[in-house]
């Protein structure tokens, strides 16, 4: 067997080993991200279980809650995905990052206004609950959440990118987990402020 | 500066509002089973985690999928080795995550003083497993189809896919979760 063939065979074996290691690492990251997501979700659920009495003070809040969580996760998830794509393409600058955060903040405020209106209308016409606080709660909560969540999501995305080969598996978990905890906290705080 | 911000808002606003609207509609289901949800503590604890977990699957598939697209590893085809590998990993993780989630939620409820029985434990486990299995399959199919669609339209799938995947996850999870609670408890 020639030297070239031996080298070729060795390189092939090495490539196979590297591919196998990459697969395992990616799998580990997905498992880790799900574990992180479960822990975060359970923390949010436990918060709900502890403050059930406060939630029951606002009739119709169960209609608002999933929409608000969804809105926060969608916006912070998109923000981190955009930052991640820019990082992969090596196009992320400070200016682009700031623009993305501002756009996400405007989005979260605009969406919370429409979410409040939708929730109010749904609870008014389906359950006969006439509670104007249902419009104000998501707006106040969105301001609180936006100030904390968006810069934090960006920072975590960039940190994960610099410390992991494939951050896509962890970015989603970190943004939705943080999103759920911060958003439930923001809603509870908004209820306290507005009651 | 204004152009980038305006583009992001323009491309994302409709889908985010639609996603929130869908979730609020799902919230109606939750409002209808509110009494059971508060009375059976593991269900209240499991609800955000279940939503989060399913949404996270949507984000994982969307983020990985768009990265594979942008780095030209998929060539906009379904039958890609990398895509199959990703789906396989997601299926295995989904199965074990649902068991873990149901178990921990029951344990937390038990330590918070909820009178946990084997019957309730198994029912919560069943609800979580069914929800996760149905929704992960659905999210994968819809995210990839939509991703290819927006990619071919020369639009950035990042602005749409995450919102789409998480809204399917939220609405689907709320509806399936509410229906299963109504049927099983």
Query: B62 and A63 in contact by Cβ < 8 A?
Result: no
Residue B77 confidence (pLDDT): 65
Q: What is the mean pLDDT of chain A?
A: 85
Give the chain B residue whose CA is nearest to the CA of A38.
B49
| Cα R_g (chain B), whole angstroms | 18
Position A104 scores a pLDDT of 92
Q: A127 CB near a chain B CB, below 8 Å?
A: yes
pTM for the full predicted model:
0.76
Rounded to a whole number, what is the distance in Å from the CA of B168 to chain A's nearest CA? 10
* Residues spanned by the domain of B48: 2-184
pLDDT at A166: 62
Instruction: Output the CA–CA distances (angstroms, integers) from residue B42 to B89, B121, B131, B133, in the order listed.
Output: 28, 9, 15, 20
At A141-177, the pLDDT tens digits run 999 999 999 999 999 888 888 876 566 667 767 777 7
Q: Which of B25, B34, B85 sits opposite A62 (nearest CB)?
A: B34
Q: Count how many domains chain B has.
A: 1
With beta carbons less than 8 A apart as the criterion, state whether B21 and B170 touch: no
pLDDT digits over B62-79, tens only? 777 877 777 777 665 667
Domain range for residue A164?
3-194
Does A153 contact chain B (CB < 8 Å)? Answer: no
CATH number at residue A156: 1.10.357.20
Which residue from A26, A48, A171 is facing B44, i.e. has the nearest CB?
A48
Give me the CATH number covering residue B107. Answer: 1.10.357.20
How big is the A-B interface in CB pairs under 8 Å? Answer: 248
Are A144 and A186 in contact by the 8 Å Cβ rule? The answer is yes
Total domains in chain A come to 1
CA B27 – CA A65 distance, rounded (Å): 7
């Amino acid at each position: 067997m020639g030297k070239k063939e031996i080298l070729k065979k060795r390189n092939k074996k090495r490539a196979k080993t590297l591919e196998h290691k990459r697969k395992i690492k990616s799998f580990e990251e997905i498992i880790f991200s799900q574990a992180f997501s479960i822990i975060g979700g359970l923390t949010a659920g436990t918060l709900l279980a502890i403050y059930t009495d406060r939630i029951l003070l606002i009739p119709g809040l169960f209609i608002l809650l999933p929409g608000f969580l969804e809105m926060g996760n969608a916006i912070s998830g998109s923000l981190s995905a955009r930052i991640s794509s820019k990082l992969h393409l090596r196009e992320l600058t400070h200016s682009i990052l700031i623009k993305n955060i501002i756009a996400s903040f405007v989005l979260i405020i605009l969406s919370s206004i429409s979410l409040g209106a939708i929730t109010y209308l749904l609870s008014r016409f389906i359950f006969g609950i006439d509670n104007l606080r249902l419009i104000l709660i998501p707006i106040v909560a969105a301001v609180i959440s936006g100030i904390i969540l968006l810069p934090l999501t960006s920072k975590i995305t960039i940190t994960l990118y610099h410390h992991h080969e494939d951050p896509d598996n962890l970015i989603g978990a970190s943004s939705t987990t943080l999103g759920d905890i911060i958003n439930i906290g923001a809603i509870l705080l908004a209820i306290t402020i507005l009651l | 500066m204004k152009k980038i911000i305006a583009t992001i808002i323009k491309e994302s606003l409709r889908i985010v509002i639609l996603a929130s609207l869908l979730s609020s509609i799902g919230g109606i289901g939750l409002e209808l089973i509110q009494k059971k949800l508060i009375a059976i503590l593991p269900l209240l604890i499991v609800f955000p985690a279940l939503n989060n977990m399913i949404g996270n699957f949507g984000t994982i598939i969307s983020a990985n999928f768009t990265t594979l697209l942008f780095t030209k590893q998929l060539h906009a085809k379904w039958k890609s080795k990398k895509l199959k590998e990703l789906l396989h990993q997601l299926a295995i993780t989904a199965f074990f995550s649902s068991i873990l989630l149901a178990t921990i939620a029951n344990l937390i409820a038990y330590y918070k003083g909820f009178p946990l029985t084997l019957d309730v434990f198994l029912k919560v486990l069943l609800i979580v497993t069914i929800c996760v299995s149905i929704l992960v399959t659905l999210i994968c199919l819809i995210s990839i189809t939509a991703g290819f669609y927006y990619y071919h339209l020369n639009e950035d799938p990042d602005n749409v896919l995450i919102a789409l995947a998480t809204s399917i996850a939220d609405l689907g999870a709320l509806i399936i979760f509410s229906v299963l609670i109504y049927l099983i408890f």
